[in-house]
Chains A and B, each alone.
Chain A
Amino acid sequence: MIFEKPAPIRDGFGNALLELGEKDPRVVVLTADLSEAIRVHWFAEKFPHRFFQMGIAESDMVGTAAGLAVAGKIPFVTTFAAFATSLANTPVRVSVAYNQANVKIATSHGGVCVGGDGATHQSIEDIALMRVLPGMTIVVPCDANEAYRATLAAAEYEGPLYLRLGRIATPILTKAHTPFKIGKAQVLAQGNDLAIIACGAMVGFALEAAQLLDKKGLRVRVINMHTVKPLDHSAVLKAAQECGALVTMEEHSIIGGLGSAVTELVAEKYPVPVERVGIRDVFGESGEPHEILEKYGLTTKDLVKACKRALKRKEPK
């Protein structure tokens, strides 16, 4: 499965599930009345006996998935990010994470790009909520191709895993043959003046910012940190050592997400200036995705500004 044109990240997920359905009879899918929104309706049509419609009952869905996992299945539970991680937080904590149950929590609508639905449906804290749970792996693909490969990798991985899928169509940044390994970041652009570490739909902005800065003679490294936990320590520390300053960008609160993870690591191991681009401790609102991104400071322009601040703080070599 290869996407050539911009496609919703969740389309990669839905297609990967179809392949997994054929390949592995242990794979089962659960949804809470959102089968089409997260593209599991294709799996449902093809594998009706391994698809469980759980109704509007996210907590029970997550608990049920834990039971399926305990009994040897590989369940994917699917709903919006806000509902899986916040509404169903206790079953995720106790029945999935504490049990080390082999449940894949796959969510759409992570971030603010849900458009008109507004703050209740914009999950700006899901990565933070999952990151504090011991043993939880967090994967945030940047395009439909990566979502496809990440979904296959998630099924192979043994243990609780949170797969965050954005809502909007994103440019295709990775190819079918781009290697994908959970926990291993990809360097999409080389450079030693500064490093941008981004995840999800923000990776495209990072590449744009790097191109803009390149015109000013600055070589910026772009790291696609598709796995927020476990964080690729060596990629971050290498960037800190070789570039001397870091900028993070995520469609998430700057508290508790990728920016926090990177900052915590470099503060302990190799302190360098870090600028974090993300939602600044506020709830979102209704609007077109591009309007929201603009208002809340998640554009290429905002990222370039942050890069300039980071460069200014960087100690001369």
Chain B
Amino acid sequence: MVQTAESVKLDIDHIKEMATQIRRDVIRMIAGVGSGHPGGALGAAEIFALLYGGVLRVDPRKLKDPHRDRFVLSNGHICAAFYSALSLKGFLPREELNTFRRINSRLQGHPARVKLPDLVETSSGPLGQGFSVANGIALALKLDGSRGRVYSLVGDGEIQEGQVWEALMTAAQHRLGNLTLIVSYNGLQIDGEVRKIKNLMPLKAKFESFGWECVETDGHDVVALYQALTEPAGGNPMSTDKPRAILAHTVMGKGVPFMENKAVWHGTCPTPAQAEEALLAIGKAKGFEDYPALSNPDLSTRKGGKR
């Protein structure tokens, strides 16, 4: 079937522009504070734009809705893109992005549930942790008969963690058909190429042999990715008992030519000049604005979270 914007009923242009704005935000946030993880965040811009721009059934005015979808970021270091997407969809004030990684901020260097209890399902950072938590949420939703679906994002390097394989077995064993695991599959980790460090291939066959449905797609093609996120591989309804994995092929540093496919940009902050160059390369996002300077002093000193 030919995949077109019409066939997926999605405002493709809006998603693309949103991804561009996420990339701009990521560069500005990280360069602004002087530290962070740009590579994976840039690579996951379309994933976040699609999740918060059309896939997740979530509403900033109904944060307690028991039937809402849940998102669990397992590779917490790429949270700049996560915070950006939240701010673009009304879950966070845009200007709060200025506080990223700064003292008293709710926007910790790795997502912290205690700081944002309604938006961060679980704190993540040490890799391999969030996926198990996503399974637990999916189990609870099944027990409660919730219509909500759980989406979790992991990096491919993260899959080297043993706990991920435990979680893969758990999801299949407990028939978590309400779970979608997205792999940002960029082939790189801090020390270099995944296949040279601890090879994961053939990854799709591994997922399938563990009892998962698995599709591979281009993680930057918003139409293909939307299709993968919303329709099971065999065209079956979403009521299948099998958990579902999407291997989304992404490019670390996507959108910034000097960062693309370079492992060093996993966790390196661009210099001010490099940030300028990056923003030029990314370009402006139609229909979106860069986040403004901090005008609400409360945001820079707030303690955040309920407890």
Contacts and interface: CB of A to CB of B under 8 A. Distances in A.
B276 interface: no
Given A60-B132, A63-B132, A67-B138, A95 B143 contact: no
Interface residues of B, number: 35
B114 A49 contact: no
Nearest to A90: B126
A90 B114 CA distance: 17
B15 interface: no
B155 to A, nearest CB: 17
A55 B135 CA distance: 15
A60 B162 CA distance: 9
Interface string B103-136: 0000000001110000001111110011111111
A67 B134 contact: yes
Interface in A26-78: 28, 49-50, 52, 54-55, 57, 59-60, 62-73, 75
Interface string B82-100: 0000000000000000000
Contacts of A62: 132
A49 B143 CA distance: 8
Q: Name, among B123, B136, B143, B163, the residue most crowded by chain A CB atoms within 10 Å (CB to CB).
A: B136
A68 B131 CA distance: 13
B307 interface: yes
Contacts of B130: 63
B135 A95 contact: no
B31 interface: no
Contacts of A65: 136
Nearest to A62: B132
B136 A69 contact: yes
Contacts of B141: 71
B129 A90 contact: yes
Interface in B173-227: 173-174
A67 B169 contact: no
A49 B122 CA distance: 24
B166 interface: yes
Interface size classification for chain A? 20 to 34
A70 B133 contact: yes
A16 B122 CA distance: 29
Main SS class of interface, A: helix
A98 B123 contact: yes
A95 B140 contact: no
Contacts, number: 110
B12 interface: no
Contacts of A98: 112-114, 123
B139 A67 contact: yes
Given A68-B136, A70-B136, A73-B140, A60 B113 contact: no
A95 B141 CA distance: 18
Contacts of B121: 67, 70
A63 B139 CA distance: 12
Q: Which applies to chain B's interface (DSSP): helix, strand, loop or mixed?
A: helix
Given A99-B122, A100-B114, A52 B174 contact: yes
Contacts of B129: 63, 90-91, 94-95
B160 interface: no
B170 interface: yes
Contacts of B307: 100
Given A91-B132, A95-B123, A71 B137 contact: yes
Contacts of A90: 126, 129
A174 to B, nearest CB: 32
B49 interface: no
A73 B167 contact: no
B180 to A, nearest CB: 15
A50 B143 contact: yes
Given A57-B169, A94-B124, A98-B123, A67 B133 contact: yes
Most interface-central of B72, B122, B135, B307 (chain A CB within 10 A): B122
Contacts of A91: 129, 132, 163
A66 B122 contact: yes
Contacts of A52: 139, 174
A62 B167 CA distance: 11
B123 A67 contact: no
A95 B173 contact: no
Contacts of A71: 70, 136-137, 140-141, 144
Contacts of B112: 98
A68 B144 CA distance: 11
B133 A64 contact: yes
A75 B122 CA distance: 16
Nearest to B134: A67
A66 B169 contact: no
A52 B170 CA distance: 10
Interface of A: 28, 49-50, 52, 54-55, 57, 59-60, 62-73, 75, 90-91, 94-95, 98-101
Given A70-B140, A98-B112, 11 more contacts: A52-B174, A55-B170, A60-B135, A60-B167, A64-B132, A65-B136, A69-B136, A72-B144, A90-B129, A95-B132, A99-B114
User: 9 closest Cβ contacts across the A-B interface?
Assistant: A67-B136, A63-B132, A71-B140, A60-B166, A57-B166, A64-B136, A67-B133, A67-B137, A68-B136
10 contacts: A59-B132, A60-B167, A63-B135, A68-B137, A70-B121, A70-B122, A73-B143, A75-B136, A91-B163, A95-B123
